Amino acid sequence: MSKLKLTGKQIRSIGYPEGPVVSVAMHTMCTKYKHHTEAEAIEILKQILNAPENYLEDEILKPIAEKLMPEPEAEGISISLNATGIQFNVFGQEHIEEGAMHQMYQAAKLPISVAGALMPDAHSGYGLPIGGVLATENAVIPYGVGVDIGCRMCLSIYDIDPKELTQKESYFTRELLEATLFGSGAQFDRSANHEVMENELFYELPLLKNLHARAWKQLGTSGSGNHFAEFGVVEVSEKDNVLGVEPGIYTGLLTHSGSRALGANIANYYTRIAISKRRLPQDAKNLAWLSLEEEAGIEYWNAMNLAGEYASACHHVIHDKIAKQLGRKPVKRVENHHNFAWKEKWEGKEVIVHRKGATPAGKDVLGIIPGSMTAPGFIVKGKGETASVNSASHGAGRKMSRTRAMDSVTDKQFKEEVEKHGVKLLGGGKDESPFAYKDIEVVMQSQKALVDVVGKFTPKIVKMDGAKHKSWRKGSAKDIQDE
């Protein structure tokens, strides 16, 4: 197969401005997407140009997106980091990359920082590391929350014999394929109804007003990357009064996705304002904050909470569709946000706790910590451990970047690994392969002091973004959907 060749003229012809972004785009596409066709590469570049904020956490495409983002005006005050930061606890440090540690040390030196912790699934992010927990005083950091505001896990447990997942595999596969759409640009032709779309903020804030129509079309859709919808086996080995599910084997529907374009636009809009107001050292600038006493801070707080409600509604739309098709009500639904900020008490005073890729784990708080497309996930109950600021990991955590996973895992290895675990994979690709993730059992061992395991989920039919460049499968157009 011939290698991809693009020219600056081609890239400028689709709307890219004169400047460094053209050479960055050309280099990125010709080295990282060298086996794509010219048309496929141009289409990817068009998608980035149309919504660069959606690619700011994409490990490969982020350099292009960053060059397309407008630079905020630096009219704000210059702020120095503290010489020494607050103390914070690290769980599973031997498995955490140096980049994530450095980002957490930077966050600990912010003058607003009060408490922090780093979870065992941590890896580098944008601003606060993914797996980072930071409590601040009367201030919120948009990139401490993250771009995918309110990204969420939701599990519906059904009193259905999981043997049916094998016996009626085509039926359950069809339900997953019809219940949601995947990809950053995915939209429904007919919008679902949900009260969240009537929230008055959509009519009061100009930013949200402009996003309302798109958000409605994306209601009930799912993201790309590590987002998924899957059926699997739920095991509850003993009765737990908080979970309230009798011991037994059940069928579960587990989904992972966030607030779609709505959350990304909120995050980037208010980050630009925060950076313009508070000029931090260059390598810490994405930790710029907004006070909850200033107008922009209040607006962001309200918009963030709306994005969280919207993310929850997306999951409920999916789960309610499938419940209707199954003709069953779940015996239990367990769900939790990550990529969010909460007002909580810390040593007697109110603080803002940012959990970017971290699960709330206050005393008796239920949550789900997934593994990978083949590894089990766990239903957990928080212990309320102050050493972790009442938090736990949000998953297994990456041990390979997407680029490394695509380059080092062969199609044969990937296919054999999925088949070995008896998983039917719909879409998905090598960048999300099991090899790209840490061992979930090791991660759970590293946080035994933070959560109790009250149930287990083992994936069996997994739907993820089906972009062709990510898939080893040869299937129908319905099975593999492009963004």
**pLDDT of 164 strictly over 70:** yes
**pLDDT of 408 strictly over 80:** yes
Residues 6+ apart with CB under 8 A from 251: 157, 158, 160, 161, 162, 164, 165, 231, 232, 233, 234
The answer to whether the beta carbons of residues 209 and 203 sit under 8 Å apart is yes
The CA distance from 137 to 343, in Å, is 10
CA-wise closest residue to 280 among 438, 467, 113 = 113
* Interval 13-33 mean pLDDT: 86
The answer to whether the beta carbons of residues 291 and 76 sit under 8 Å apart is no
Helix and strand element counts for the chain (H, E): 15, 19
Instruction: Locate 312 and state its tokens.
Output: 């929850």
* Interval 72-90 mean pLDDT: 82
Confidence at 466, pLDDT banded by 50, 70, 90: low
Residue 188 pLDDT: 93
CA distances from 368 to 117, 178, 250, 305, 384 (A): 19, 24, 16, 21, 16
* Interval 437-452 mean pLDDT: 96
Confidence at 403, pLDDT banded by 50, 70, 90: confident
Residue 328 pLDDT: 94
Confidence at 13, pLDDT banded by 50, 70, 90: confident
Please write the tens of the pLDDT for every residue from 253-299: 999 999 999 999 999 999 999 999 999 998 899 999 999 999 999 99
The answer to whether the beta carbons of residues 479 and 412 sit under 8 Å apart is no
Q: What is the mean pLDDT of the chain?
A: 91
Confidence at 477, pLDDT banded by 50, 70, 90: very low
Residue 400 pLDDT: 86
Confidence at 321, pLDDT banded by 50, 70, 90: very high
Residue 120 pLDDT: 96
Residue 74 pLDDT: 52
* Interval 425-434 mean pLDDT: 91
Instruction: Locate 281 and state its tokens.
Output: 């050292």
> Which position has the token pair 């035994």?
448
Residue 364 pLDDT: 98
Has this prediction a pTM greater than 0.85?
A: no
CATH 3.90.1860.10 residue spans of the chain: 143-470
> Which position has the token pair 């910590």?
369
Confidence at 479, pLDDT banded by 50, 70, 90: very low
Residue 469 pLDDT: 40
Confidence at 246, pLDDT banded by 50, 70, 90: very high
Superfamily of domain 143-470 in the CATH hierarchy: tRNA-splicing ligase RtcB (3.90.1860.10)
